[in-house]
Amino acid sequence: MKNKKIGVFCSGGDAPGMNAALRAIVRRGIARGLKIIAIHRGYQGIFDEAFEKMTPRSVGNIIQLGGTIIKTARCKRFYEEEGVQEAAEILRKHEFDGLIAIGGDGTFRGLIELKKYWTGQVVGIPGTIDNDIFGTDYTIGFDTAIDTVIQMLDRIRDTAESHQRVFLVEVMGRYSGFIALEVGIGCGAEEVLVPEHVVDLEKVARRVIEAQKREKKSIIIVVAEGVSKNDIFNFSNKLTNQEGLEFQTHISILGHVQRGGSPSALDRWLATRLGSFAVDCILDGDTGIMVGEQNHQLVQVPLEETQKKKSIDTYAFSIIHDLAI
């Protein structure tokens, strides 16, 4: 029997640990008799036929690198049915037997669409700093990102405490509040605003005043990027003009510094195990799945399931105000 030819690509936002996953796929795959082809720039790379045959040396010295050496992209053409059909045709022409995609829920939606027109195996690996994928406790890149963000929040706290200020700090997370909640807990934020919970900003303003009365020296309000910018700017203005509030209010948008950087030990661990496991699944003939981790165990999750909404930890959310007294 001929060796299976497997394409691997990264798609959506880059995340630290994507390279570690790629390394694991290439080396585990080749060690177990697969032909591994890197597809550059996500789904776009299929249309461009940007294929590179990988060897164990192609992935040398990359486990510690942030970003992705095979590039990633958001590809508009793949949202269209004709685009998916065309991609399937190209994959047939090049005799691919399977694909391993490292990305987020959008990337997995793409795999679900591709499955309608292509009979090759498809396996997804959760790689996104947002940790918003149903079916896996953690996604590759999340641990590194929250560490990076916490370091920045600690610095902001120094300034806030020295000048007695309120800081509204926007953190990444697309439509979810996983980053906001974990960094909020980790830096002792007084408030965490996430899209999953509608918050009464009047109440937040009252709590800020009460905190000042309790002689708190600074207030950090972590805001997930999924919360409306308009609301936040209006809220900041409201605090600035709030009678009885002596603290100045500042907004800080952390932006893309949260994405890059060398992956943490935990992200390397997760990426390496998920990458290897994805290869094992391909060899077992599995398809239409995401590999993930639940309670420290490797699991397979049907791709359709990954499209469900993952809920944030309501217990962690409920203790924030008690911890800010």
Which of 14, 105, 130, 143 does the annotation list as catalytic?
Answer: 130
Rounded to a whole number of angstroms, the minimum distance from the CB of residue 41 to ligand ATP is 10
Q: Is 299 buried (19+), middle (13-18) or exposed (0-12) by CB count in 10 A?
A: middle
Are the C-beta atoms of residues 18 and 72 closer than 8 Å to each other? yes
Token reading at 8: 């691997």
Specify the residue, 107 or 218, whose C-beta has the smaller distance to ligand ATP: 107
Specify the residue, 8 or 208, whose C-beta has the smaller distance to ligand ATP: 8
Binding site for ligand ATP (CB under 6 A): 11-13, 43, 74-75, 78-79, 103-107, 109-110, 113, 128, 130, 174
Token reading at 205: 């303003």
Rounded to a whole number of angstroms, the minimum distance from the CB of residue 32 to ligand ATP is 27
Rounded to a whole number of angstroms, the minimum distance from the CB of residue 183 to ligand ATP is 17
Helices 81-93 and 105-115: crossing angle in degrees, nearest 10, is 70
Specify the residue, 98 or 124, whose C-beta has the smaller distance to ligand ATP: 124
The residue sitting closest to ligand ATP, measured at its beta carbon, is: 106
Phi, psi dihedral angles at 100 (to 5 degrees): -120, 120
Question: What is the spatial distance between Cα 144 and Cα 122, in angstroms, rounded to a whole number?
Answer: 27
Residue where the block lists tokens 């987020």? 104
Rounded to a whole number of angstroms, the minimum distance from the CB of residue 67 to ligand ATP is 13
Question: What is the spatial distance between Cα 263 and Cα 219, in angstroms, rounded to a whole number?
Answer: 30
Specify the residue, 13 or 66, whose C-beta has the smaller distance to ligand ATP: 13
Active site residue 130: yes
Q: Is 202 helix (H, G, I), strand (E, B) or coil?
A: helix
Q: Which residues are catalytic?
A: 130
